[in-house]
Structure 1
Amino acid sequence: MEYVQERVATLHDFDGAAPEAPVDRATVVVPLTDRDHASLAAERVLSTLGAVDPESVLVALRADEGKLEAVREWVDSLDVDADILWCNAPTVRDLLSEHGHNGEAGKGRDVWLALGVAAARSDLVAVHDADATTYGPQHVPRLLFPLARDYEFVKGYYARVENGRLYGRLCRLFYEPAVAALAESHDDPLVDYLGAFRYALAGEFAATSDLIRQLRPPRGWGLEVATLGDAFRTAGFEGTAQVDLGIHEHDHRAVSGRGGLSDMADEVAAALFSALDDGGVAVDYDALRERYRTAARRLVDQYATDAAFNGLDYDSADERRQVDAYAESVRPPESDDRLPAWGETDLDPEAVRAASSDALDEATDR
């Protein structure tokens, strides 16, 4: 146990912290795909939210039409009052096309749609992934607590230790050493901010509805990093906190292959470098790539020592191979696929909600 404060306010779990928080003023967004529905982790998350009883729960669903009935029946069977936002409904896609926002679907676009609806109905918004098998009723109150004390943006952090091993590889082996390498050559407050978080790639965060309307997430896996870049512009160090969510056990991904960690590294890197470009931070990618390798290999040695200290299995050679794979992501972003801030688009969140609701009712004969 420790109580060290970081550049952003850091709230620790000393002994099962369960603070009083404005849960009744918050909408909790849970992104979900039809592949993930009915999993034990997703069931735990949604059932727990039923006990927490926020103002509303919004499931940001990406699903094929043929799976909708099963997903809806499953959500209805749980002890939670949750609304489903069918993010890839044909009517929603048509509406996005009318406003020039249609295109590739992904987690970022799903969450963006849900954030617009959530910010229109609640003062506060929290986002939680649905793949944590260790999810607990204290997580939402912990995330929301700082928002009642004049903070605008709150990030969750946790340890990824499971099955006697360290996980969280993309954050440990790509994001953290990349930002550390940037800090070696850039004395810039944005770089400092990006490096201030204990788990920058955590999917759990909360914010005021005003800040939510300023977020410009990319369509895919760069959501978490892009959110930090926008939070820096809006909240800065003084308006930001991070809270301890304990130990999380999540689903795991392979490094290579479609949808693997290497693909995710490309999208995380694109979001990172787009945020830096927004902030006027010029990057020498060739030099950064070499500094990244050096920083990452140093971290591998440190993680190996930490793992040994705790009696965990640790394959240093495999982690170094991952570093070599992730190094290929240190390059200029090929494109900027960020969606617009809700505060800067004429798309009406209520129109999105209505389009989803009508399509969902029609597809499930309700």
Structure 2
Amino acid sequence: MEYVQERVTTLHDLTDPVPDAPTSRTAVVVPMTEREYAGLAADRVLSVLERVEPARVVVPLRAPKDRVGPFCEWLSQYDLSLDILWCDGPRVADLLDSVGLNDKRGKGRDVWLALGPAATEEYVVVHDADTKTYDRSYVSRLLFPLANGYEFSKGYYARVEDRRLYGRLFRLFYVPLVRALRSESDAPILQYLDAFRYALAGEFAATSEMARSIRAPRDWGLEVGVLGDAFGIAGFDGTAQVDLGAYEHDHRAVSGPTGLSDMSESVGETLFRTVADHGVAPDFDTLPDRYQTAADRLVDQYAADAAFNDFEFDRAGEREQVAAYADAVAEPAGEDRRLPPWSDAPLSPDEVVEAAVADAEEVSS
């Protein structure tokens, strides 16, 4: 148990708190894919939210059309004010195409589609649906800073399960890459990105104004993109990070589709675009070597920490992961395809809801 403060306000779990928070003025966004259908983790999340009683729960759903009907029927059993937005229907595609936004699909795009409707409430909380240890305190903890003058809060937790260290993409890619960038520049944006104890956590809360200001990357770079926008909007003084205690997620393979290696490419691209937004121009000729040096040092530190706790630790396997992620340490190519903030979007949240609901009804009937 510790109480160290970072450059951003850090709220610690010292007493297992469930603080007072404005849940009745909050929309909770829970992105789901077909793999969450009737799953134990998703069921726990939704069952707990029934007791939290937020104003609304918005589920942006990415699933093939033959799964939409069963998914909607399953979700209807929960006693929640629930909005289901099927993100993959033809009307949604046509709507986005009409304004030049129908491009790559992914988690970031799904969450962006939900943020517009969700931001009609005073506060917005976003979190994943694959959390096996989900607790009713999480929404309150994320909201507490917002009710006390902050504009943005980010969840953090230790990814420790089965006597192993997880959180591999964060530990072995994000952290050493940010440190490598800081070895060249100490720009405020890099200090901000380095202040978060688990920057790739999917759990955050924002005021509706900030939620409408997020330029969401389309896929796995969402969490980093949100931090970049939070820096510009809330800054150090308007940001808090909140200890969510024990947290168990599903684990992904390193290789293969939607594996951690693919995710590292999205995270890296978004990170480089984010720092460029704030005037940082990395030396990409030397950055891969500096990343490797920082990552090797961290692997040694994690090995010592694991041994101290009598955990299993595969040092060679960790270094293999670093090598797999190294290809993502490269200057972004192509056009920036981040989605526009809802405050400046060429369509309305009501149009998205109308199209997504009509698409779902058509394939569910």
TM-score normalised by L of structure 2: 0.98
Distance 1:9 1:221 in 2: 26
Identity of aligned residues (%): 58
Residues 47 and 80, structure 1, Cα contact 8 Å, conserved in 2 = no
Residues 109 and 217, structure 1, Cα contact 8 Å, conserved in 2 = yes
Task: Give the C-alpha shift of residue 127 in structure 1.
Answer: 0.2
Distance 1:351 1:337 in 2: 21
In structure 2, the partner of 1:139 is 138
Residues 30 and 128, structure 1, Cα contact 8 Å, conserved in 2 = yes
The answer as to 2:167 corresponding to 1:168 is yes
Residues 43 and 78, structure 1, Cα contact 8 Å, conserved in 2 = no
- Counterpart of 1:249, as a letter, is E
CA deviation digits over 1:162-209, x for unaligned, max 9?
A: 111110000000000110111111020001001110000000000001
Distance 2:106 2:226 in 1: 15
In structure 1, the partner of 2:22 is 22
Distance 1:33 1:258 in 2: 15
Distance 1:135 1:16 in 2: 14
Distance 1:247 1:184 in 2: 32
Comparing 140-149 with 79-88, greater Cα deviation is found at 79-88
In structure 1, the partner of 2:241 is 242
The answer as to 2:73 corresponding to 1:73 is yes
Output aligned runs, 1:1-366, within 5 Å: 1-119=1-119, 121-335=120-334, 336-365=336-365
Task: Give the C-alpha shift of residue 362 in structure 1.
Answer: 2.2
Distance 2:154 2:168 in 1: 19
Distance 2:121 2:78 in 1: 23
Distance 1:321 1:362 in 2: 47
Distance 1:328 1:142 in 2: 37
Q: Which portions of structure 1, spanning 4 or more consecutive aligned residues, are displaced by more than 2 angstroms?
A: 77-81
Residues 50 and 81, structure 1, Cα contact 8 Å, conserved in 2 = no
Tell me the SS of whatever aligns to 1:201: coil
Distance 2:86 2:361 in 1: 10
Residues 34 and 62, structure 1, Cα contact 8 Å, conserved in 2 = yes
Residues 56 and 80, structure 2, Cα contact 8 Å, conserved in 1 = no
Aligned-residue CA RMSD (Å): 1.0
- Counterpart of 1:179, as a letter, is V
Task: Give the C-alpha shift of residue 40 in structure 1.
Answer: 0.7
Tell me the SS of whatever aligns to 2:30: strand
Equivalent residue pairs, number: 364
- Counterpart of 2:146, as a letter, is L
Residues 51 and 80, structure 1, Cα contact 8 Å, conserved in 2 = no
TM-score normalised by L of structure 1: 0.98
CA deviation digits over 1:282-314, x for unaligned, max 9?
A: 011121111111111111111111111112111
CA deviation digits over 1:260-298, x for unaligned, max 9?
A: 111000000000000011111001112111111111111
- Counterpart of 1:324, as a letter, is A
Distance 2:82 2:57 in 1: 5
